[in-house]
A and B are shown apart, each in its own frame.
Chain A
């Protein structure tokens, strides 16, 4: 059982004569038994952070605590963490069984204990049939399961997973993702997971730490990130399809606050409770953000506020996306599987005001999230 605390952790290294900052001033609490996901684009610092937690890389600045014990100077073996790598890293000259038992043999665990743990792992990961095969004869998904088995059998305090699904094809990925989620629920250990795929983060994690350019952008549950993103980057990065952004303006109109297109007549009313705050800010240009599944097609033109034309209709099987032009802007709308639209078809759209997100174009911060959170508390 282990909680992990990072306090002002930074990592810099030299590359071709220049200082590169991989992680900057990262402070984060990972609770005991939590599934925490580091999410961000390539190069944002998430893998460096994971490797510092593992002890595979030095910490340039700051401290990492495990259960309130400082671990900066402990080697990976001393930290009792287990890691599953992007590339599985299985020992090709050993069978699956020997791969999994390897860490126990290295620690001279008793035979009965080894067999008992092996049986548990085999059951959890459903690898009974491949125990005697060698890694070269396994599919990617099977190799990853063996890699997980090797990590689990050690019964470590913390599991670290570095993009474990990135080299698998779609169906293997889905199957393994469900398995990892189930594992977490069965093992009840702290898991730290790194990925660039927001779908994995959303489906697996208790909380997600979004990173960009070596900095932590926001930490929260999936609901918090989706409904109350703190800035433009998080709002765009999390959620599929990505949030629609419109460069509009905000203004007072007949006693109400509206956001409107600078080009056409389209306007949407801002929730009444936000009016005074925006008046106080005295802003003009804003970025209006709406999640594609918060835009609804309506039958009665009277109910709608926006009119658009379909540019591209994506039929994707389980969901359909309609990419529409609304005035001078483009929005993506999620439509249900029964609806099929054609190019150039006219559509009427409706948005609930409280589902709007309003961003300050200069600071890129989300003003509406602050207001919404205030309203809840």
Chain B
């Protein structure tokens, strides 16, 4: 069994909590991604799981056993580091074989050699075995680090930002490879990253971490489409979600939201949504609109009008920043559209695509609790 359970785990550095009261259950063979900005506590969580750092309080169970006081060697986990941590004085072959030479492994030389070759083949590194880490590219080093982790057939993989120092191009290929590998090996994996694209693409479930606290856990679609609060909505999404302060006016059964800086930006909510807003009883709200939910419309009366601040074309969609009377909104446009700086554009947003956040707590008013 290879589950990982955190029970109110806390890690303090002096007075500062790096991880605060973390409770989480990671299932067997699950690919769990922890995503958050730098300093959120992601690497600390991983090192606690590996046994490289002691817990300050709480309980950690690995494979059903209480692991708090187990040394890294005793936990049967394997870890890859953001800096790869390849042994510079050993060849690729020796690097990968290192775990197999440890006391307690009791493998013959030929068994070790065959396992190393098996892993090397799986990762496409057959010709690199005699090289030294300094002769390898970033992507190759990453694969060696993976190989070293995999060769032990551990029950848990811990991957610390494996793709952050790899060229953008290689990153794409490796994402798919990692996905495929994990499904093949069926090993429980905890993957840590600040790149939400990796989180959404790779995770069976995603956990959003900020300042040591776990804010939301769920499958990628849920965490993306139904964020529990502003932070989650901001962190998952590129470009960042547009956040606008609005003033609430309650009417009979509907609610009118108007931009605080520019009342021309307005939405009418009806039915259940209006209900939720009324119950919240706030005079102000913050609404969130995802850039790809804003569609450009012809410049005519009725549509919202703004001036193009900058336009960046791209392959699938262009990125437009529009100065809308005090608000700078980011819009993702169709690949074929072109815009010039200073051009007037019109756009529209469906009220259904608007998220409602409490201006004080940032909580999503419609999130199920």
Contact = CB atoms under 8 A, between A and B. Distances in A.
A203 B238 contact: no
A198 interface: yes
Interface in A194-237: 196-199, 202-204, 222, 226, 237
Contacts of B169: 41, 196, 198, 237, 242
B286 interface: no
Contact of B224 (A169, A182, A291, A317): A317
Contacts of B341: 182, 185
A132 B314 CA distance: 37
Interface in A141-173: 169-171
Contacts of A202: 313-315
A165 to B, nearest CB: 11
Contacts of B237: 317-318
Interface string A321-351: 0010000000000100100100000000000
Interface stretch (A70-78, A88-96, A308-316): A308-316
B172 A170 contact: no
A182 B328 CA distance: 14
Contacts of A197: 168
A42 B137 contact: yes
A174 B328 CA distance: 14
B72 interface: no
B332 interface: yes
A202 B315 CA distance: 8
B221 interface: yes
Nearest to A200: B168
Contacts of B205: none
B315 A169 contact: no
A198 B168 contact: yes
B310 A318 contact: no
A170 B321 CA distance: 17
A203 B38 contact: no
A185 B290 contact: no
A182 B340 CA distance: 11
B240 A174 contact: yes
A226 B310 contact: no
Contacts of B316: 240, 293, 319, 334
Contact of A318 (B137, B175, B194, B291): B291
Given A196-B168, A314-B200, A340-B221, A323 B240 contact: no
Contacts of A56: none
Interface in A68-115: none
Interface in B161-198: 167-169, 172-173, 175-176, 179-180, 194-197
A182 B310 CA distance: 6
B270 to A, nearest CB: 23
A284 interface: no
A225 B146 CA distance: 34
Contacts of B315: 202, 226, 239-240, 291, 293
A210 B201 CA distance: 28
Given A202-B314, A222-B313, A170 B176 contact: no
A128 interface: no
Given A199-B168, A323-B176, A317 B138 contact: no
B62 interface: no
B332 A318 contact: yes
A196 B321 contact: no
Nearest to A330: B176
B231 interface: no
Contact of A42 (B138, B180, B312, B318): B138
A181 B312 contact: yes
A-B interface, 7 closest residue pairs, ranked by CB to CB distance from nearest: A203-B312, A197-B168, A314-B201, A182-B310, A318-B292, A178-B310, A317-B224
30 contacts: A41-B167, A42-B138, A169-B38, A170-B194, A171-B239, A171-B240, A178-B321, A181-B310, A181-B312, A182-B309, A185-B310, A185-B341, A202-B313, A202-B314, A202-B315, A203-B319, A226-B315, A240-B314, A240-B315, A241-B172, A242-B169, A242-B173, A293-B316, A312-B180, A317-B197, A317-B224, A318-B292, A318-B332, A334-B316, A337-B292
Given A170-B194, A337-B292, 7 more contacts: A169-B194, A174-B319, A181-B310, A203-B314, A242-B173, A316-B197, A317-B200
